[in-house]
Amino acid sequence: IIAAAINAIEYQIWTDVDGIYSFDPRKIKSARLIENIGYNASQEIAAMGAKVIHPYCILPCANKKIPIVIKNTFNKEAKSTTICEKIVNKGIYAITVQENVKVIKITSENMWNNYGFVYDIFATFKKYNVNVNIINTSQFNITTTTDESQMENIMNIMQQLSTKYNVELLVDNTIVSVISEDIRKYKNIGQLFEIAQKYNIIFSSL
């Protein structure tokens, strides 16, 4: 916010890693450092599990087109990550993983050609202060994910929604996010779906 307010030429974040990686380097030793990435893609990476930068830190600088540079306090000469305006990238930036995720599936035939049910459902989540991450909709179903740890809140939501809808809770799931500037144009996207067929995929979203 301060960098945006004073129209800084650059905003630097000094931390304990070189920058944003293509995967968690603690789990995958071959993870590569992303040296340049666009604002939107970096925000997705941050929101979907990367801990290097908070998603809300990006927007003020993005609005003013101020580059964000992430550098390692303990290795000043190391390469770093620069977040700047959209970069043409025909590949994949990163893969992030969120564990211990709960999936709530809400189904009703009355959703078809109806209105107001989306507000009704998510007003219930708001009532119990439960965040949602991914939302997937169809004609008769809304599926959403949350990392809420308080099961009492989850059960309160399910109890209230079950008076109008069929509600199913799936626990201990993992979200795998593949981040690219435009994943639909990734030439090897078919290989991603081939790999996904080997696992129990509850739902996918592009």
pLDDT in tens, 89-99: 667 888 888 88
Helices 117-127 and 151-161 cross at an angle (nearest 10°) of 150
Report how far residue 109's alpha carbon sits from residue 122's, in angstroms, rounded to the nearest whole number. 18
d(CA 44, CA 35): 16
Beta pairing, strands 135-137 & 81-84? unpaired
Which pLDDT value is given to residue 85? 85
| C-beta of residue 27 within 8 angstroms of C-beta of residue 39 | no
pLDDT at 103: 95
Alpha helices in 22-96 (DSSP H): 39-47, 58-64
Q: Which residues of 54-79 are buried (b: 16+ CB within 10 A; e: fewer)?
A: eeebbebbbeeebbbebbbeeeeeee
Which residue carries 């959209």 as its tokens? 86
In this structure, the strands spanning 166-179 and 81-84 are unpaired
What is the tens place of the pLDDT at every residue in 109-138?
888 777 788 888 999 999 999 999 888 888
pLDDT at 187 over 80: no
What pLDDT score was predicted for residue 90? 63
- DSSP annotation of 56 reads G
Lay out the sheet containing 68-72: strands in order across: 11-15, 68-72, 81-84, 36-38
The whole model's pTM is what? 0.74
pLDDT band at residue 73 under the 50/70/90 scheme: very high
Cα(39)–Cα(37) distance, integer angstroms? 7
Tokens representing 58 are 């990006």
Confidence of residue 23 (pLDDT cuts 50, 70, 90): confident
pLDDT tens string 26-70: 788 888 999 999 898 898 888 877 778 888 889 999 999 999 999
Please, which pLDDT band fits residue 198 given cuts at 50, 70 and 90? confident
Q: What six digits make up the tokens of 132?
A: 């949602």
Q: Supply the pLDDT for residue 57.
A: 87
Instruction: State the pLDDT at residue 89.
Output: 67
pLDDT, residue 98, reads 86
